[in-house]
Amino acid sequence: MFFSNEQLQDALKEFKEECIELLDRMEEGLMTIQENGPSHDEINAVFRAAHTIKGSAGMFKLNHLVEFTHVAENLLDEIRNDNIAFNHELIALLLQSKDHMLEMVLFYSQNFGQEPDEVIRASSKSIIDSLQYHLNNDISVAEEGKPAEKSGWHVEILFGTDLFEAGMDPSNFIRYLTRFGTIEHFDLDTALIGNISNYNPKECKIKCEFDLNSSISEAEILDVFEFIIDDIEIRLTQCLPDNSNDVDDDFLSDHEQLSESSTNIVEVSSGMVVDSAKSQVTSSSLRVDSDKIDVLINLIGEMVIANANVVQKSSEIKNNELMQSVSIVSHMLEEIRECAMKIRMVQIGDTFNKFKRIIHDVSKNLGKEVELVISGGDTELDKTLVEKINDPLIHIVRNALDHGLESGEERVLTNKRAKGRIELNAFHDAGMITIQISDDGRGLDEEKIFNKAVEKGILDPHSKLSQKEIFNLIFEPGFSTAEKVTDLSGRGVGMDVVRKNIQSLRGSVDISSSKGKGSVFTIRLPLTLAIIDGFLVRVGQTHYVIPLEMVLECVEYLGEDNDEYSGNNYINLRGTILPLLSIRSHFSETHPKNTEEKENVVVVRSGENRFGVIVDELLGEFQTVIKPLGKIYRGVRGIGGSTILGTGEVALIIDIPMLINVIGSEHHYTDKKG
Amino acid sequence: MITVEDNVAIICPPQELTIRNVGEFVDECREKAFTGNEIALNLIGVYEIDSSGIQSLIALKNESNERKIVVNIVGMSSEVDEMLSVYNVTSFMSNQG
């Protein structure tokens, strides 16, 4: 066995992740072709994805996956050679093939060493039959117009001296080549290996040449060596099998050159020279298990807490030199924290792109024509958040497709374009990421929602609710206005889960809608779930942290300015009415207020809402490691988590969006000009 | 791993002859393999072999040829046989130098 068990598991995990990425790329390419028509770049990208998956699967001897992908790859090869024209039917078939490949990748990642069961095999056969049908029937280019058929290659390879230590075995690559054809006249340069008394057993001294009787292209041969292309010298000469004597005798004469050369050359007989340094451009990133980054971030979190304790102690000792050193360490720690958090940041574009496929499939099922517009795909947020927001987004988009957008006929009758439109947009705002899903459909029907809520017993018929509150009823458990339940949505079990999932990420979801014009779902999420910059305040004996990016400014609270306005506290802030919330009264702080101490107002913002939080003391910026709340605090609205201070005390993190919802539902305040 | 009887060095490489342990095998060969005038190479017990292992056997054979020491392969596992076939060196290893 070439790998140890542990190495095999790691390699399999990497294989699975790589395949999922490549399959996503394949899907993205197919969807782009569907949208914009075929382009050579996209077709090549799809072909390369399939080809790389086949190559990787071959390394693990995942035969069924190799066989299946080989057929799909053949079809793609004919397409990219302009022998078969792309059409919607082919795109659908290739998307189906991609889904099936994913199914097999997942199977093998969990059942290594086994071949797929009958169900998977039956699906494979059915899809292969369809692929084969197109391969046999769609080729339109006349046979006589084709270039002369390739009969074979003479291959010369010098493997790099460091290959063994890199965990690579040349024999695996040679064996793999036999999948494409037969190997003849294999000649290993045994003299290069030398005598046992004076050679280094850890160095690879494999230099060989052979004839490969196969019709594969040079690119396909080079792809076999893709993983080690920087560590080998290879020459391919296209020839008949008996032409092997024509090869230059002086090729690869200097073995030492390879280990010393930083830009080895991959040379092919056509005269094309590929500088392998170019291929390194695409491999400047490093794939790291996200669990390892989680461990790093947790450790940094613990360091931040420990450092807060050091800062506290040093300020008690009041030694200037010590305080200066501690300050330097704190600053560096902050930079380390920022760097570590950036590692976890990924663009949301990849998630958005997956919706092309969902919209393609769902709109086809529903018989609706839908256009998807994506913007802000380069907006970054924490990887964990990207993963967790995926399901809520899918649900909202499916709802928009199913209930939001009207049928083509209905749209034409209301003077709209027959093709519906769904927009996905993301942007950063006030230290949070905002994701908007909008449609130009029929919009939410306030009356219908209200009546449905009454009918379901969620609402008293005499209730007086604002438009926003009525819209928010769709997030109530068991609520559904769909007249018929489809397999897409309308079961009333989704939107409450959507809201819960978003809230569990310390986020919020809002709806705005205009009847006949469409709806906008706005999701606001924190950028990260682990460590944030906070603003530490005190009320009574309790410390609270407000996310710093939501803090606009702090002003002194003058009690005499306090007045009643529509039943709410407010202040006049430079001509603007600013609603106030007293933390003391909201969280029922029992410790008496120090009458000599002047209170302060922290002005905060979330989305379009602004309000002031009254606190006893402002303590300044604080690196906040977010810790989950204990069970008894989970029901407290307005608290999103906790953190540990340098003194070891616990501070509560205020969830500003939640607090705004709480105040909003208690008092319908508005931010008015004074 | 290597014993010498009647001027014959009997070499029985370990079950695993790969990059992980090939260094020890090579060291022992350097020390004892050429102390007789014949080598009996018993590869029957080698269940795992990679290219570095094959390389060490070829290096042993190269030096034996140079020293004009006969190498007789007295046993071979299917794993070694397959690897020798991949590199097409079965006859090279069997030929008398």
Spatial neighbors of A576 by CB under 8 A, at least 6 apart, are A671, A673, A674
Give ipTM to 2 decimals: 0.95
Q: How far, in Å, CA of A57 to CA of A108, rounded?
A: 10
Task: Give the tens place of pLDDT for each residue, B13-61.
Answer: 999 999 989 999 999 999 999 988 899 999 989 989 999 999 999 999 9
Beta carbons of B52 and A164 less than 8 Å apart: yes
Task: Give the tens place of pLDDT for each residue, A559-610.
Answer: 655 554 444 577 888 888 888 888 888 888 888 777 777 888 999 987 778 8
Q: How far, in Å, CA of B20 to CA of A202, rounded?
A: 9
Task: Give the tens place of pLDDT for each residue, A36-62.
Answer: 778 878 888 888 888 888 877 877 778
Q: Which two tokens stand for residue A384?
A: 């964990």
Map tokens 């209200």 to a residue: A450
Q: Considering only CB atoms, which chain B residues are within 8 Å of A193?
A: 55, 58-59, 62
Nearest residue on chain A to B46, alpha-carbon basis: A1
Residue A665 has pLDDT above 70, yes or no: no
Q: Contact, A624 vs A534, CB < 8 A?
A: yes
Amino acid identity, position A246 = D
Beta carbons of B51 and A199 less than 8 Å apart: no
The strand pair at B48-49 and B16-17 is best described as parallel
Give B6→chain A minimum CA distance, Å: 23
Give A172→chain B minimum CA distance, Å: 9
Q: Measured between alpha carbons, how far is residue A610 from residues A90, A130, A410, A551, A553 in Å?
A: 53, 59, 40, 10, 11
Give B9→chain A minimum CA distance, Å: 15
Beta carbons of A195 and B86 less than 8 Å apart: no
Q: How far, in Å, CA of A580 to CA of A583, rounded?
A: 9
Q: Considering only CB atoms, which chain A residues are within 8 Å of B50?
A: 2, 164, 169, 171
Strands of the sheet containing B8-11, edge to edge, are B2-5, B8-11, B38-43, B70-76
Task: Give the tens place of pLDDT for each residue, A87-139.
Answer: 878 888 898 899 999 989 888 888 877 888 888 888 888 888 888 888 877 66
Beta carbons of A194 and B62 less than 8 Å apart: yes
Between A205-214, A253-262, A446-455, B66-75, the lowest mean confidence (pLDDT) is in A253-262
Spatial neighbors of A212 by CB under 8 A, at least 6 apart, are A152, A153, A154, A155, A177, A180, A181, A182, A183, A221
Residue A232 has pLDDT above 50, yes or no: yes
- DSSP sequence for A82-151: TSS---HHHHHHHHHHHHHHHHHHHHHHHSTT----HHHHHHHHHHHHHHHHHHHH---S-GGGSPPPP-
A199 touching B (Cβ < 8 Å) = yes
Q: Which two tokens stand for residue A88?
A: 């919607």
Amino acid identity, position A116 = P
Instruction: Quickly state the pLDDT bin for B7 (edges 50, 70, 90).
Output: confident
Give B53→chain A minimum CA distance, Å: 8
- Percent of chain A exceeding pLDDT 70 equals 84
For residue A193, which of A153, A159, A231 has the smallest C-alpha distance?
A159
Beta carbons of A190 and B51 less than 8 Å apart: no
* Alpha-helical segments (H) within A467-601: 467-472, 495-504, 583-586
Q: Contact, A658 vs A526, CB < 8 A?
A: no
Q: Considering only CB atoms, which chain B residues are within 8 Å of A2?
A: 50
Map tokens 């496929």 to a residue: A357
Average pLDDT of chain A, as a whole number: 79
The strand pair at A650-654 and A542-547 is best described as parallel
- Report the pLDDT value the prediction gives residue A414, as an integer from 0 to 100: 87
Instruction: Quickly state the pLDDT bin for A423 (edges 50, 70, 90).
Output: very high
Q: Considering only CB atoms, which chain B residues are within 8 Å of A174?
A: 86-87
Q: Considering only CB atoms, which chain B residues are within 8 Å of A169?
A: 50-52
Amino acid identity, position A94 = L
The backbone torsions φ and ψ at residue A466, rounded to the nearest 5 degrees and listed phi first, read: -75, 170
Beta carbons of B54 and A171 less than 8 Å apart: yes
Q: Considering only CB atoms, which chain B residues are within 8 Å of A212?
A: none
Instruction: Quickly state the pLDDT bin for B96 (edges 50, 70, 90).
Output: low
Q: How far, in Å, CA of A441 to CA of A404, rounded?
A: 5
Beta carbons of B59 and A194 less than 8 Å apart: yes
Q: Which of A174, A190, A204 sits opposite B62 (nearest CB)?
A: A190
- Report the pLDDT value the prediction gives residue A91, as an integer from 0 to 100: 86
Q: How far, in Å, CA of B29 to CA of B3, rounded?
A: 11
Q: How far, in Å, CA of B35 to CA of B58, rounded?
A: 18
The strand pair at A432-439 and A420-429 is best described as antiparallel
Beta carbons of A201 and B55 less than 8 Å apart: yes
Size of interface A-B (CB pairs under 8 A): 75
Residue A621 has pLDDT above 80, yes or no: yes
For residue A516, which of A422, A419, A416 has the smallest C-alpha distance?
A416
Q: How far, in Å, CA of A63 to CA of A50, rounded?
A: 15
Task: Give the tens place of pLDDT for each residue, A477-487.
Answer: 777 655 444 44
Amino acid identity, position A5 = N
Q: Considering only CB atoms, which chain B residues are within 8 Å of A191?
A: 62
- Report the pLDDT value the prediction gives residue A270, as an integer from 0 to 100: 35
The strand pair at A609-615 and A345-347 is best described as unpaired
Beta carbons of B60 and A191 less than 8 Å apart: no
Q: Which two tokens stand for residue A18?
A: 């790589």
Instruction: Quickly state the pLDDT bin for A535 (edges 50, 70, 90).
Output: very high
The backbone torsions φ and ψ at residue A546, rounded to the nearest 5 degrees and listed phi first, read: -110, 130
Give A7→chain B minimum CA distance, Å: 14
Q: Considering only CB atoms, which chain A residues are within 8 Å of B92?
A: 190
Q: Considering only CB atoms, which chain A residues are within 8 Å of B58?
A: 188, 190, 193
Q: Which of B19, B50, B66 sits opposite A171 (nearest CB)?
A: B50
For A523, other C-beta atoms within 10 Å of its C-beta total: 23
Beta carbons of A175 and B86 less than 8 Å apart: yes
Q: How far, in Å, CA of B26 to CA of B35, rounded?
A: 15
Mean pLDDT (whole number) for A500-522: 87
DSSP category for residue A516: T
Q: Which of B48, B50, B58 sits opposite A193 (nearest CB)?
A: B58
Give B35→chain A minimum CA distance, Å: 13
Task: Give the tens place of pLDDT for each residue, A496-506.
Answer: 888 888 887 87
Q: Contact, A347 vs A378, CB < 8 A?
A: yes
- DSSP sequence for A164-175: TTTT--HHHHHH
Mean pLDDT (whole number) for A226-235: 86
Residue A264 has pLDDT above 90, yes or no: no
Q: How far, in Å, CA of A100 to CA of A65, rounded?
A: 9
Sign of CA dihedral A209, A210, A215, A216: negative
Residue A23 has pLDDT above 50, yes or no: yes
Beta carbons of B60 and A204 less than 8 Å apart: no
Residues in chain A: 674
Residue A389 has pLDDT above 80, yes or no: yes
